Amino acid sequence: MKEERLMPPQVMTLTACGILGIDILIVQRDMVGVAGQDAWISLILGGMTAMILGSVCYYLAHLYPEMDLPQILLHIFGDFFGRIILLPFIVYDVLYLGMSLRIFAQALKMFLLSATPMLPIVVLILLAAGYAVCKGVFAIGGIMDIIFPLCAVTILGILLMPMNQIHLSNLKPILYKNTGNVVKGILTGYQQFTGYGTIAYFYCYTQKTKGTFKWYLAGLGIPIFLYIALTLITIMVFGPTDIGYLTYPTLTLAKSIEIPGTFLERAESFAAILWINIVFVSVALLLFRTKRNFLELLHMKTKHQNYVIWGIALLLIGIALFIRSGTEAISFFSKIKKSSRIFGLLIFPFITAMGYIKKRRETRA
């Protein structure tokens, strides 16, 4: 049988699903908090930064086409230093994943399961994601291929439905005495898209063709477009001041949609169900990354991966339920997210530069 490889279009869905995640519920609040009504401009600039740095990340994966990130690290920096550099990735992924689960459970309780405790929600989503990771990269690719278009269409629906409620005046004044904040907001905007690093874990399984990079750029571009549009519409519907008071602006936007006379009058539950899928893909991808990192860190064989996956799942349950207060959890999550800038702006370009030098030396030798 021929060796199985991910198809180039799957690079698009995997990259996009790596970027979309729990943030989709709160991106507007984070952005408006920094850049006010001009948040969408910051997001555009942040998106452009992500495209450039994402290309750097792609280049790193392209340098070592048969290795994933932990293997690349060990190859470039050696067994000891490679593992040292791998550690921050593991800590970030585990904390981000744990807090994502927490925020997810909180939001779900608010909109769908008010009487259900958080534990079963976290356990069930981890169970589904863990099962997907156990089934391997090609199963994950298949799930993303189906879920991604559904999610994209749902988000587009959420964007188009409240068109009758938008007020263009909420966007004004554009860039008036706010340029400094817009510039500050570029970093906040950029951090929403740092999920592009997923390519470094999947590129080695991909069929390499000329079009793969284009698909990757499409995978980066689609979530950037959706986030910008979502922020723009939310600002136009609620205004920058009100967004600051909304816990989950995207769900509130969906809640504002009423479809009188149709079978489903309110769309927020429907949106929440599809949002479960978005969180699932994000959790599955992060869990896969964490599993790979742990396997390389502990020098374990692939046949033991299931123990690693379920071990990480137990750790994540603990992290998700550790903080009691919901507000504190959101605040901690924001801090973790901020640290993603360090990876995207410093660590990845550094690794790429070192990888380039190493590769050149290898080629010469």
- Give residues in contact with another protein (CB under 8 A): 1-2, 4, 6-7, 9-10, 13, 108, 112-113, 116, 120-121, 124-125, 127-128, 131-132, 135-136, 138-143, 145-147, 260-266, 269-270, 272-273, 276-277, 280
Q: How far is the CB of 146 from another protein (least distance, A)?
A: 6
With respect to another protein, which residue has the nearer C-beta, 88 or 211?
A: 211
With respect to another protein, which residue has the nearer C-beta, 45 or 137?
A: 137
Q: How far is the CB of 113 from another protein (least distance, A)?
A: 6
With respect to another protein, which residue has the nearer C-beta, 4 or 79?
A: 4
With respect to another protein, which residue has the nearer C-beta, 88 or 120?
A: 120
Three-state secondary structure along the chain? CCCCCECHHHHHHHHHHHHCCHHHHCHHHHHHHHHHHHHHHHHHHHHHHHHHHHHHHHHHHHHCCCCCHHHHHHHHHHHHHHHHHHHHHHHHHHHHHHHHHHHHHHHHHHHCCCCCCHHHHHHHHHHHHHHHHHHCHHHHHHHHHHHHHHHHHHHHHHHHHHHHHCCHHHHCCCCCCCHHHHHHHHHHHHHCCHHHHHHHHHHHHECCCCCHHHHHHHHHHHHHHHHHHHHHHHHHHHCHHHHCCCCCHHHHHHHCCECCCCCCCECHHHHHHHHHHHHHHHHHHHHHHHHHHHHHHCCCCHHHHHHHHHHHHHHHHHHHHHCCCHHHHHHHHHHHHHHHHHHHHHHHHHHHHHHHHHHHHHHHC
Q: How far is the CB of 307 from another protein (least distance, A)?
A: 19
With respect to another protein, which residue has the nearer C-beta, 40 or 104?
A: 104
With respect to another protein, which residue has the nearer C-beta, 145 or 242?
A: 145
Q: How far is the CB of 215 from another protein (least distance, A)?
A: 10
Q: How far is the CB of 9 from another protein (least distance, A)?
A: 4
With respect to another protein, which residue has the nearer C-beta, 73 or 147?
A: 147
Tokens of 51: 């495209």
**CA proximity to 12, closest of 286, 278, 216, 209:** 216
Q: How far is the CB of 362 from another protein (least distance, A)?
A: 32
Q: How far is the CB of 271 from another protein (least distance, A)?
A: 11
With respect to another protein, which residue has the nearer C-beta, 7 or 95?
A: 7
Q: How far is the CB of 6 from another protein (least distance, A)?
A: 7
Backbone dihedral angles phi then psi of residue 328, each to the nearest 5 degrees:
-65, -40
173 neighbors 264 (Cβ within 8 angstroms)? no
How many CB atoms neighbour CB 362 within 10 A? 9
**CA proximity to 286, closest of 114, 69, 109:** 69
Q: How far is the CB of 112 from another protein (least distance, A)?
A: 6
Q: How far is the CB of 220 from another protein (least distance, A)?
A: 17
With respect to another protein, which residue has the nearer C-beta, 121 or 186?
A: 121
Angle, helices 179-191/39-63, rounded to nearest 10 degrees: 40
With respect to another protein, which residue has the nearer C-beta, 143 or 308?
A: 143
